[in-house]
Chains A and B, each alone.
Chain A
Amino acid sequence: MNWKRKDLLGLEELSREEIVAILDTAASFKEVSTREIKKVPALRGKTVVNLFYEPSTRTRVSFEVAAKRLSADVINVAIETSSVRKGETLIDTGRNIEALKADVIVMRHSSSGAAAILAKKVNANVVNAGDGWHEHPTQALLDMFTLKEKTGEIKGLKVCIIGDIAHSRVARSNIWGLTKLGAEVIVCAPRMLIPPEIEKMGVKVSSNADKAIRGVDAVNVLRMQFERDEKTAFPQRLEYYKNFGITKERLHKAGGNIIVMHPGPINRGVEISSEVADGPNSVILEQVTNGIAVRMAVLFLVAGGEKNRT
């Protein structure tokens, strides 16, 4: 398998072989993380810029650790909405960062497609760290890496993704990745949070959590975000927890031996009970550890690939 891509924008465009190549490379990097010296010189002299238009401590830190373990220099640029209003466009910002001789730009942005649009305009490798509701490829890759580690093979697994599917980039990337690797995917959410024609992406759709998770190998629990107004949101939250929250009882009813994943940060008592989040089925912290290996693999592969000439 030859890695040819300049950028990692999403899993929709990747082939099965490319996804496997990332996961295999990540396995090697996971071994590196067990060494006493966790750092290798693979990206020595390279500069990785974390360009974050949305606050995200955990993804940003994970990329930062990954880049540092590859011996790259890391610069974090957090762009507040206020300075965006001052008028610099996404492409201008990207080009300015490239003028600083950045080799890789890791970008988080609230607009779907932002990474794709930037990637066409800069020579630097662009890694999508989440764009709007579109994709969050490294999160899905680390979810799959964790699943593969736990079960041996993704092919033939049954995985339920539960939560706000309509507004979730994590859901979309997981759907593309898991279906390409031969897993069966069920998405589960209140009807209002199921995007139109999602079944055409090759998944089953359910609005009944108990049915949706019955007999699955793993459930990926998405973070639920209700309106900021605590008072109006409260009954809604209780209702959601009752019908869709992943609790010990619900897991038990569904067959019990189910791997529980969550991209974090978790809302205890909203989409998942504390008991489950901290319990034996949970692999939430392993996901965080694996995230570093997966992001090392992605940075390593794109930085080693060919550069674009525009």
Chain B
Amino acid sequence: MGNREEKKILAAEEIHRILIRLSHQILEKNPKASDIVLVGIQTRGVYLARRVQASINDIAGLLPPTGILDITFYRDDLTAVGLNPIVKTTDINFDINEKHVVLVDDVFFTGRTTRAALDELMDFGRPQKIELLVLVDRGHRELPIRADFVGKNIPTSLKEQVEVRLKESDGVDEVVVIEGSGGYK
């Protein structure tokens, strides 16, 4: 990483509150709570989905089924030179047909990850509806895709990098913007 400057955008407490707010919004928008299923996109989307699952349980007393999606096989840049795909697991052990699927990711950027996730989900079945939840939206979309539940909008330049750090993977809950490191990670 070197000594590039980091700017903290969200702290642990804020992340916690945002996820509770987004959980409320999901329940508000989907009156039939038993139809809600959550699918986290590897890696940090998975942890976020589990946290949303827990807070929906706190609020509504019901534990929506939660799955894991690895989109590597559906990427559109697979054979770009130097890309070395590391494949993680996909695990959706419930039926998504006719469900309200909430797709969960950490950073919303070009939209290409979401596109791949949508394609993959469609191969699993035909949900009644798919919605997108993201912790931060940093803009710079390259596809006509929007998010339904946004934790925080963070205007960035393409040179900056947004990093979401979570206790489960990084030992700390925070969102930082890193200067001049090139946007695409």
Contacts and interface: CB of A to CB of B under 8 A. Distances in A.
A89 interface: no
Contacts of B88: 28
A28 B73 CA distance: 10
Interface stretch (A134-142, A276-284, A299-307): A299-307
B89 interface: yes
Interface stretch (A31-39, A57-65, A157-165): A31-39
B123 A4 contact: no
Interface in B106-155: 119-120, 123-125
Contact of B73 (A1, A2, A32, A307): A32
Interface stretch (B31-39, B51-59, B76-84, B164-172): B76-84
A4 B81 CA distance: 10
B78 to A, nearest CB: 5
A177 B137 CA distance: 46
Contact of A40 (B74, B83, B85, B86): B74
Nearest to A43: B78
B123 A28 contact: no
A39 B91 CA distance: 16
Contact of B84 (A24, A36, A42, A304): A304
Given A40-B73, A41-B74, A42-B74, A300 B124 contact: no
A25 interface: yes
Contacts of A27: 89
B85 A304 contact: yes
A28 B86 contact: no
Interface range on chain A: under 10, 10 to 19, 20 to 34, or 35 or more? 20 to 34
A226 interface: no
B43 interface: no
A306 B85 contact: no
Main secondary structure of the interface of A (DSSP, over half): loop
Given A28-B90, A35-B124, A42-B78, A300 B73 contact: yes
B121 to A, nearest CB: 11
A27 B90 CA distance: 10
A3 interface: yes
Contacts of A25: 85, 87
Nearest to B71: A40
Given A40-B123, A304-B79, A28 B70 contact: yes
A305 B82 CA distance: 7
Interface in A13-33: 24-25, 27-28, 31-32
Contact of A35 (B83, B119, B123): B123
29 contacts: A2-B84, A3-B85, A24-B87, A25-B87, A28-B72, A28-B87, A28-B89, A31-B90, A31-B91, A32-B73, A35-B124, A36-B124, A37-B123, A37-B124, A39-B123, A40-B73, A40-B74, A40-B120, A41-B74, A42-B75, A43-B78, A46-B79, A70-B73, A300-B85, A303-B78, A303-B79, A304-B85, A305-B84, A306-B82
Given A32-B73, A32-B90, A42-B78, 15 more contacts: A1-B86, A3-B84, A3-B85, A4-B84, A24-B87, A25-B85, A28-B70, A28-B87, A28-B88, A28-B90, A31-B89, A31-B91, A70-B73, A300-B73, A304-B85
8 nearest A-B pairs in the assembled complex, by CB-CB distance: A40-B73, A2-B84, A37-B123, A42-B73, A28-B87, A25-B87, A304-B85, A3-B84
